[in-house]
Amino acid sequence: MRLFPLPLHLTLGWAGVLATLGLVGFYVPTADKTIGESYLIFFFHFPSAVNCLNLFVIAGVVSGLYLARSSPRLDLWAASAIEVGLLACTITLVTGSIWARAAWGIFWDVRDPRLMTVAIMWLTYAGYLALRGTMDEPVKKALFSGVFGVIAAINVPIVYFAIQFFGQSHHPMNVDLTQFEMRLTEAVGATAFLVLYTAFWRMRFRVHWSRHELNRMESAFHRSGI
C-alpha cells in the first residue's frame, strides 16, 4: 500500500508549482521596470509555452517514428504528448490573455502574430484529437494520427519564428530578468512545470496503454470463443 496517494514525479511537480507560487507571492520583486506588476504571470506563462512547444515537437518526431516502425506504443506516446501539449497551450493562451489585458488593456489582439499563430496551433491540435475521436479501428487510428501529427508539427517553427517573420508584435521576444530573485523564480518555475507536464504525459500514456491492452485482451477473448 502506498503511503502517499500521488506518484513521486507528480508530487514533485505540484510541490515545484507551489514553491513558484510562494516565490512569486513573497520573494520576487512585485514590479518590473518596464512592464510593471503584470510581469508576475510570466513565471507561469513562459514555462507552459516552452513545454507546449517541446511536447508538440516530441509528438511530431514520435509520430514520424510510428510511421517508420508501426509500434502502438509510439502512437500512444505521441497522442499523450499532444493531449498534454494542448493543456499547456490552453494555459499559455489563458495566462497570456490575462497578461495582455493587464499590459495592453485588451485580452486579444488579432494583429499580434505570436498570439494568432499559437491560437492556430491550438486549433490544429484540437483537430488532431477530433480526428482520433472519429476512428475506432486501432491501426487506422494510429496511422492517420501519425500522418497528421507530422503535418501539424509544421506549426511549431511558424509559432517560434512568428515575430521575426511577420513583425509588428506587442509580444516581447524575451523578458529581461535583471535581478537574481527573478532569475531564481524563473528557474524554479521552469523546472516545476517541466516535471509536472512530464508527469502528466507519462500518466496519460499509462492510461492509453492500459486501455489498449484491455482492448487487445478483449479481442483475444472473443476470438478464442470462450
Partner 1 sequence: MKALPIFFKLLGWDILREIRRRETIPNMLLFALLVLFVASVGVDRDSGVKISSSVGPVFFWVAILFAGTVGLSQSFAAEREGGVLGGIVTSPIDLGTFYLAKVAATTLYVVVLEIALLFVYGFFFSFVPASQLGGLIGAMSLFTVGYMGAGVVLAAMTTTLRGGGEVVLRILLVPLMIPFLWVILRQSGLFFQTEIAGGALGGPLRQSHFFTFCVALDAIYLTVGYLLFPKVLE
Give the DSSP per-residue string, 130-154.
Answer: HHHHT---HHHHHHHHHHHHHHHTT
Q: Which of residues 121-150 bind partner 1 (CB under 8 A)?
A: 121, 123-124, 126-128, 130-131, 134-135, 140, 143-144, 146-148, 150
Handedness of CA 55, 61, 64, 69 (dihedral sign): negative
- Restricting to residues 17-76, name those near partner 1 by CB under 8 A: 67
Query: Which among 44-52, 87-95, 160-168, 205-213 is the span making contact with partner 1, rule CB under 8 A?
Result: 160-168
CA atoms within 13 A on the CB side of 182: 15
Binding track over 72-101 against partner 1, x by CB under 8 A: ------------------------------
Q: Note whether 83 and 204 are within 8 A (CB).
A: yes
Nearer to partner 1, 14 or 144 (CB): 144
Using CB under 8 A as the binding rule, whether residue 106 contacts partner 1 is answered as no
Q: Which is nearer to partner 1, 35 or 126 (CB)?
A: 126
Q: How far is the CB of 92 from partner 1 (least distance, A)?
A: 16
Q: How far is CA 34 from CA 103, 115, 129, 213, in A?
A: 10, 21, 40, 54
